[in-house]
Amino acid sequence: MSSKFKAIKKLVLILCLAFGYESFGFTVTDTLYINSGKLSLGLQDSLQLTVFGSSENFDGRNTKFKLNPNDILDLIIINLDQHTHKAAIQGLNETWETLNTGDSAHYILTFQDEGIFILEDLLNDKLFSYAGLSTTIAVSKRFSKDFHWNIKDINSEWSEEISNNATAVAAAEYEPDFFLLNELRNPGIDLDSTAKVRGSVGDTLHIYISNTGNAIHSIHLHGYHATLIYSSGNQVRLGWEKDTYGLEPGESIILEIVPDKTGEYPVHDHNLVAVTGGGYYPNGIFTTMVITE
Amino acid sequence: MRIWFHIAIILLPFAVMAQSTELLIARNKGEKVLADSQVIRTMGFARTLTENPGVPGPTLVFEEGDSAVIDLWNVSQGAPHTIHLHGLDVNQENDGVPHLSFSVHHMDHGYYRFKVPHPGTYLYHCHVVSTLHVQGGMYGVLIVYPKGSRNLTWENGYRYERDYSILTSEIDPIWHSDSVMILSHDSAHQRVKIPKYRPTHFLINGYSDHQIDQELGLYEIKKDSNTFFRFSNVGFTGNTVYFPKNMDIQIVSSDGRPLPVALHQDSINIYPGERYGVIVKSNELSQDSIVIHYFDLNNLKLLNKQRVMVQTRAVSALETIDNIAILVYPNPNNGLIRIQSTYSGKADLLLYTIQGIEVDSETIHVNGAFEWKLQEGIPPGTYILEFRTSKGLIRKTVQKY
């Protein structure tokens, strides 16, 4: 990291302390490792995935970020995978570098507005999105209980072929057999505290949902209607109050729920094939919201 | 005397609170004839023990503010079943998710008690191994009307002449084989093997292709009046609904809530589990169709198209009669039409072109099946057959070759 950048960071921090962080934001520093390996899903299922991991050792999970508007993300991306990648966030004005095996890139990214941004590999028509390589950066100005869902669909054979050999695919024939939320599936999702919705009656809960897969997902909530307060896609839906929201590939939304009653209520994909995994019900996108007094 | 007075005081609030009860009987051995004459096994809901469980199940109707009760009676000799009240936001106990609520086993009754606070279009379906039981046919539409009105979307909302429900779904016959459906699925959210999904029949209200005209007939719109269409998708594919081009279309509600601003657009995507309310208005006499595309959610591949015929008429003279069924066959025909009806008595038969021009008519006394020989010289084409009785009328689309 250059001394010039360190000086800028210091200056920003001083200004933040003086004028409040909303004006200037904080700096979040992190390193992502592009690596590939076998993710065990339990129940004797595993998937070969490529992810933006948090360490040199493959753990099968994409690292997600949550920032405030005007925060700076000081990000290093290191490619430990055998294939070349070009990690990028579409719509962000930045020069993205192509990373051969062992290469790294350093980015200072500023996110001014609220939204959810998808970090993905742009090479070969986003081929590695079929192998799981995409994560989310949520930028939020809200002080509420928040939950983050990175939804994916994976064809296990394609994912293995791509991760191992970067083999091109016929997108028109795509048929996933695994459906994941934060690289987990039912019942494992329930153990992810960033995903598992827990709250109390009267709380304002925000669920940040991105579809980083290649299929359309239709997320249905039991128990409550949710208001759409952000969409990276069709803006006309803002303010709608619904119990089922369709998400197209690459689309992100923020849902607001204010629970009016206690209970444990499912949230699941209403393409009920996506509630399965490896050909078994109910090992797909299915979790519950737990609301207490 | 005094004690009766106290009892009456206690019971008074219950007496004035509207309570609506529906009985649904869950069955595992229904039969459904598909458009290609293939007969498949279904699961489903029926109102009586003697009727074949329909796909979809009966449409349940409630009124805003009702205290509703659904009595689910499982007479399946197989898996437990539940009712999930999709979109009604009921409490956990009545949510119909077996491992979080309760499930109803063979020969048991289960009672779902809930309030219906929002007028709108909802679904109900079994949530036991939901992927299989929904595909099996255990689903239906649930409509909540505003208090005291069947012609209003919601209080101070859109007034309409009549409403139609259009429910889309699909059938993969492999999933209806005994080897898949006969499993005694339990209610503990246990793992169940699910086949690959390869739908071959694409349904509107349970029918596809020629069955749609035959069984659902023509969707009538009264000129210069609002007609309310309730679209629901309970299948596992995406739908794009294309509305008639010469009609005024307003998408006004979704999932049982009004939209903040109505949308004027000529098509809409409806994903699994979603519902949309659409006001359709036409200021000219015409016949057109609502076309529904079914596409694969994984790769956007267009799988099928279905359509329902929509006709604008100047006057909607009589309501369609729900309790009288007629069967018109063969269809297409050569001018000799056989008609079977549950109605007996005097009836007028009228034949219209799709532009609404009368080309033939006859008055007959109906008692069971009969034949109607059309006049000579009626050219081949699509016509509307109107079966007019003292109790109301039924229209069917017929093809003459």
Q: Which of B195, B259, B297 sits opposite A271 (nearest CB)?
A: B297
Which comes out higher in pLDDT, residue B324 or A51?
A51
Q: How far apart are CA A139 and CA A191, in angstroms?
A: 24
The dihedrals phi and psi of B282, each to the nearest 5 degrees, come to -135, 140
Q: Is the Cβ–Cβ distance between B90 and B82 less than 8 Å?
A: no
| Interchain CB contact of B132 with A (< 8 Å) | yes
Torsion of CA B190, B193, B198, B202, to 10 degrees: -30
CATH fold of the domain at B326-400? Immunoglobulin-like (2.60.40)
| Interchain CB contact of B299 with A (< 8 Å) | yes
The segments of chain B whose pLDDT lies below 70 read: 1-18, 183-189, 315-324, 354-355
ipTM of the complex: 0.91
What is the assigned CATH class of domain B171-313?
Answer: mainly beta
Task: Show which of residues 146-205 on chain B sit within 8 Å of chain A, judged by CB atoms.
Answer: 189, 191-197
| Interchain CB contact of B91 with A (< 8 Å) | yes
Q: What is the CATH number of the domain that holds A62?
A: 2.60.40.420
Task: Give the pLDDT confidence of A202-258 residue by residue, as tens digits.
Answer: 999 999 999 999 999 999 999 999 999 999 998 999 999 999 999 999 999 999 999
Per-residue confidence band for A198, with pLDDT thresholds at 50, 70 and 90: very high
Q: Does the pLDDT of residue A137 top 50, yes or no?
A: yes
Name the strand (E) or helix (H) holding A210. strand A205-211
The answer to whether B2-151 and B326-400 have equal CATH topology is: yes
Q: Where are the domains of chain B?
A: 2-151, 171-313, 326-400
> To the nearest whole angstrom, how far is the Cα of A174 from the nearest Cα of chain B?
6
Statement: B2-151 belongs to CATH 2.60.40.420: yes
Q: How far apart are CA B167 and CA B235, in angstroms?
A: 9
Q: Which residues of A touch B95 (CB under 8 A)?
A: 222-223, 263, 265-266
Q: What is the pLDDT of residue A25?
A: 79
Residue (of B232, B187, B194) closest to B56 by Cα position: B232
Q: Is the Cβ–Cβ distance between B129 and B79 less than 8 Å?
A: yes
Mean pLDDT of the A32-40 span = 97
Q: How far apart are CA A199 and CA A221, in angstroms?
A: 15
Among residues of chain A, what percentage have pLDDT more than 90?
A: 86
| Interchain CB contact of A258 with B (< 8 Å) | no
Q: Which residues of A touch B135 (CB under 8 A)?
A: 272
Tally the domains of chain A.
Answer: 1
Q: How far apart are CA B298 and CA B316, in angstroms?
A: 43
Q: Which residue of A has its CA nearest to B131?
A: A272
Q: What is the pLDDT of residue B328?
A: 83
| Interchain CB contact of A125 with B (< 8 Å) | no
Q: What is the pLDDT of residue B315?
A: 62
Q: Which residue of B has its CA nearest to A267?
A: B97
Q: Which of B192, B260, B297 sits opposite A215 (nearest CB)?
A: B297
> To the nearest whole angstrom, how far is the Cα of A56 from the nearest Cα of chain B?
32
Q: What is the pLDDT of residue B317?
A: 39
Q: Is the Cβ–Cβ distance between B212 and B206 less than 8 Å?
A: no
Spell A57-74 as b/e; 16+ CB within 10 A means b: ebebbbbbbbbbbbbbbb
Mean pLDDT of the A119-125 span = 96
Look at A280 and B297 and tell me if their CB atoms are within 8 Å: no
Per-residue confidence band for A170, with pLDDT thresholds at 50, 70 and 90: very high
Q: Which residue of A has its CA nearest to B232?
A: A244
Per-residue confidence band for A80, with pLDDT thresholds at 50, 70 and 90: very high
Domain extent, residue A99, equals: 3-292
